[in-house]
Structure 1
Amino acid sequence: MKCVIFDFDGTLSDSIKVFIQAYNNFAEAEGYNKVALDELDDLKKMSIPERCRHLNFPMRSIPFAAPKLYRYVRETRETLPLFSGIKQMLDELNSRGIHIAIISSNASDIIKNCLESNGINYIHDVLSSKYIFSKDKLIKKLLKQYSYTSEDAFYVGDEQRDIDASKKSGLRAVWVAWGYDDESLISGSDFKAAAPDDIVDYAAKG
């Protein structure tokens, strides 16, 4: 295995509470329904269109809302936390000479700030997708840049859209059980990671 490509939010970073705060601040100003922490489990079982309907939030507004959410994170100077065991997992992959990249819908400067704050200075490919359903384009771009084949890499994410992007790119998809989407929403993944160490084991098997 030459390369492991990661999603960020819900996969590496436990950013849900920060982004709920950002979204609720935005929702109050725009007149959308807010998110209560006690409804997170229910939201995790909803698809993205279902979540938007629940929040009275039009899907077409997602690309316009995202920059405002990121601006909130920057202005509050929040450093997004990593899930437990993530740094150790990334360090182990790096020590084995595996190229680590991140392709996310989050802003690259926010991701880099999180990595820097956690002493992770070896991830240089951090790509930000402008649209939440177009990660496959960046995955293909990265593969082409490094002349990787579909056998050289796999993509790790927590949502069904991550699995879909992997498949569109011809890569194997690893789904992590600690993220945003409930397992009932997931189909087509090649491997389920119940803990970060499982990703290291999967990479070792090639």
Structure 2
Amino acid sequence: MSKYIAFDFDGTLVDSQDIAISVVNQLANKHDFKPIEREDIEHLKGLSVFDRCKFLNVPVYKLPFWAPEFYRIYKKSIKNLLFFDGISNLLKELGAMDYNLAIISSNSETIIRDFLKNNQIDNIDQIFCSSNLFGKDKVIKKFLKRNKLKSSELIYVGDESRDVIACKKVGVEVIWVSWGYDSMDTIQEESPDYIAKEPKEILEIVKSL
């Protein structure tokens, strides 16, 4: 039986799309790359991170250098950040069961902790963060080692293909959620272990294991 359920943050627990687009467009003006238009959103959801960067004319190698600036601007909008409908209740229900909950994200730990405090969520045991968009498998591996867990003792919940790819690298089962940043077409070729189309389905999947 899994001992931990770990969640991605943006696009999985919280609806940060409008904030992210606003921040990206501010950076676009400063660093001279293509801003995101409303009509681009569905198209971008069907692209990989690399192809999104290509579409927006963003040099991939510059992402780590721009990450601190991105989250500094993002933090100013944290008051507008909201859980997706049903997520707050899901976390409370899972916390009432025999599961430890964690967040493993590429967002800022400070932002995540401030958001959880503002929303009175106190049953998240651990938060692991890395600004490396392509190194989540290393963060998951670090989480397993720190908690002396086998891969089979963790379930990860995420919304992007890179979440699924990272989990498969370390042998962790993954639940992909359909309400985040990646489209169903994008994710199908990565074959997540489970798919949830609404938060209550996460609880059903967990109970079935």
Matched with 1:180 is: 181
Q: CA RMSD in A?
A: 1.3
Contact 2:167 2:173 in 1 (8 A): yes
- Whether the 8 Å CA contact 2:19–2:77 is kept in 1: the answer is no
SS at match of 1:173: strand
Aligned to 2:200: 197
Question: Which residues in structure 2 correspond to 1:26-105 (within 5 Å)?
Answer: 26-76=27-77, 78-105=79-106
Q: Distance in 1 between matches of 2:153 and 2:175?
A: 14
Distance 1:197 1:116, change over 3 A: same
Q: What is the CA-CA distance between 1:24 and the residue it aligns to?
A: 0.6
8 Å contact 2:14–2:83 — kept in the other structure?
yes
**In 1, Cα distance between equivalents of 2:206 and 2:30:** 45
Question: What's the offset of the Cα at 1:97?
Answer: 2.4
How many pairs were matched up?
Answer: 206
Shift of 1:11: 0.6
SS at match of 1:90: helix
Q: Normalised by the size of structure 1, how large is the TM-score? A: 0.95
Q: Which runs of 5+ in 2 are unaligned?
A: none
Cα gap change, 1:86/1:77 in structure 2, threshold over 3 Å: closer, same or farther? Answer: closer
Q: For residue 76 of structure 1, report the CA deviation from its aligned partner.
A: 4.6
1:139 aligns with 2:163: no
Corresponding residue for residue 14 of structure 2 = 13
1:43-68 CA-to-partner distances (Å, cap 9, x unmatched) read 10111111111111111111111111
% identical equivalent positions: 38
Q: Distance in 1 between matches of 2:171 and 2:198?
A: 24
Distance 1:198 1:148 in 2: 25
> Aligned with 1:147: secondary structure?
coil
Please say if residues 100 and 125 of structure 2, whose CA atoms lie closer than 8 Å, have aligned partners that are also in contact: no
Moved more, 5-14 or 139-148: 139-148
The letter for the 1-side match of 2:132 is Y
Matching residue's letter, 2:147? Y
What residue is the counterpart of 1:163 in the other structure?
164
